[in-house]
Amino acid sequence: MLDKQTGRTIREGIRKRIMVVDDELSMREFLSIMLRKHGYQVDVAGSGEEALDKIERELYDLVITDLSMPRIDGMTVLQRVKDVSPTTAVILVTAYATTESAIEAMKRGAYDYIIKPFKVDELKIIIENALEQRRLVTENQLLRQELESRYGFGNLIGGSPSMLEVYDLIRKVKDTRTNVLVYGESGTGKEMVARAIHYNGGRKEFPFVAINCGAIPENLIESELFGHKKGAFTGAITNKPGLFQTADGGTIFLDEIGEMPLNTQVKLLRVIQERSFKSLGGIEEIKVNVRVVAATNRDLAQEVKAGRFREDLYYRLNVIQIRLPPLRERMEDLPHLVDHFMVKFTQEYDKPIRGVHEETLRALMSYHFPGNIRELANIIERAIALESADRIQRSSLPPHLLSQVGELSEWAAMGLPPEGIDLEATITALERHLINQALERSQGVKKRAARLLKISFRSFRYRLAKFGIEAGEGDEEEE
């Protein structure tokens, strides 16, 4: 693993590396023997110059340096260590302690300042704590790098014009306080956009908190968002902070915002306007600095007209709207998405699959993907799990996809005649043909036929009347 600042290898999984810097031979030998005895790798330097030379060439977990040395002192060594490798811990040791030098050392990033003579057991504890702090800092740094890599623009795959517009909007809004509404069908990657905004912007050091408003019961969503006090309702046995409080300084992602109950919408509006709220059962105002990114697959403007969504909240959330196109509108991106999921799942399943057969890719390109990117990921994962060849074969695709692609290809095979075609009449003929086929398969039971066509029973009855198709009575109740 690499140190972010230096690009040099951090030796994980082996003994921690410590450098002892002191112009007194007896102190160098005493510390090096003691440290090696406790399992550490130890380098020594008899002067500040020698220490600086080693620092430039090697990466240390900890540097223990004397403060008072001729020419280059311990404070200079401390400063250079922090310039080269900010995560390396530094302990300063001196027999001539002053309050001023101690304060200066801590300001420059020293982990601790020890006065000679010291107790060996106390030094051991300080060294262990310094190395543990360094480990935590390094892990947090690597986690942040992983998050940035995972949720950067690179994970929003595609170079189609519609996706380039999405990237451009993310760049423009990532460092602002502006609320964002992400609109897109289920499975298009709305949360990925929200994370890209957060982890590429100025709030990336603070929490990203996501909540699916449609997955939480109506009587619990207010408590989840704003928290509650002990005794606020039956079952509230302790105080609980809400997600807005947890996300303070960062971003809260409200997925499926159109599912939020009207009474909760009122409180959400107040939080956005006032940047404060009261928890359930609480009397104190809780101040928060949170950016709101909301997402929906509904037409919120129509929801406002229907009285199911507050107009004032809609305008507060919809300051900037990012529309994620469905996969069927950017099929030129599909080969890149397939490659992306191929790499991901071949690694997860540890299978030596090198690619996708041409026939398989043609079948995928002919499919309309109602489940969008999420469905594509599922299809590729399934295919890799089942495939025994070195490339994904058409037969490894799901039966429902092959069935649909097969039916469409029969109609596509007739081609466009030289004199042109009556598109409306052709589509009408196709619709009538599929309705009759569904009725045949369902033995005239209309509810079953509607299910085969993935439409509501009411819509199916409308089409029967539209085309004057006679059908058995079947089962008339609407589901």
Q: What pLDDT is attached to residue 147? A: 52
* Token pair 């023997």 in the structure block, residue: 33
Q: Which of 143, 140, 127, 141 is nearest to 61 (CA)?
A: 127
Q: Give CA–CA dist 32/64, Å, rounded.
A: 10
CB 259 within 8 A of CB 297: no
CB 283 within 8 A of CB 269: no
Look up residue 80 and give its two tokens.
């250079």
Q: What is the pLDDT along the chain (479 residues), one digit of tens a residue?
A: 344 433 333 334 457 899 999 999 999 999 999 999 988 999 999 999 999 999 988 889 999 999 999 999 999 999 999 988 888 999 999 888 788 888 888 888 899 989 888 888 989 999 999 998 888 777 766 665 555 555 556 578 888 888 989 999 999 999 999 999 999 999 999 999 999 999 999 899 899 999 999 888 887 888 889 888 887 777 777 778 889 988 999 999 999 999 999 989 999 999 999 999 888 888 888 899 999 999 999 999 999 999 999 999 999 999 999 999 999 889 888 998 998 899 889 989 888 888 899 889 988 988 889 899 999 999 999 999 999 998 999 999 998 888 877 655 555 555 666 777 777 777 777 788 788 888 878 888 888 888 888 888 888 888 888 777 776 555 544 43
Q: In what order do the strands lie in the sheet with 62-66?
A: 41-45, 17-21, 62-66, 89-94, 112-115
**Up-side HSE of residue 312: CA atoms within 13 Å toward CB?**
10
- DSSP letters along 372-426, please? HHHHHHHHHHHHHHH--SSEE-GGGS-HHHHHHHHHHHHHHTT---TT---HHHH
Q: What is the pTM of this model?
A: 0.58
- DSSP state letter for 254: E
Contact residues for 7 (Cβ-Cβ < 8 A; gap 6+): none
Contact residues for 11 (Cβ-Cβ < 8 A; gap 6+): 17, 59
* Token pair 């004199």 in the structure block, residue: 419
Look up residue 269 and give its two tokens.
């509006």
For residue 69, the one-letter residue type is M
Look up residue 371 and give its two tokens.
């489940």
Q: Give CA–CA dist 197/211, Å, rounded.
A: 16
Q: Give CA–CA dist 228/232, Å, rounded.
A: 6
CB 22 within 8 A of CB 65: yes
Q: Which residues of 290-311 are buried (b: 16+ CB within 10 A; e: fewer)?
A: bbbbbbbbeebeebbeeebbbe
CB 302 within 8 A of CB 313: no
Q: Give CA–CA dist 254/233, Å, rounded.
A: 24
Torsion of CA 312, 313, 317, 318, to 10 degrees: -40
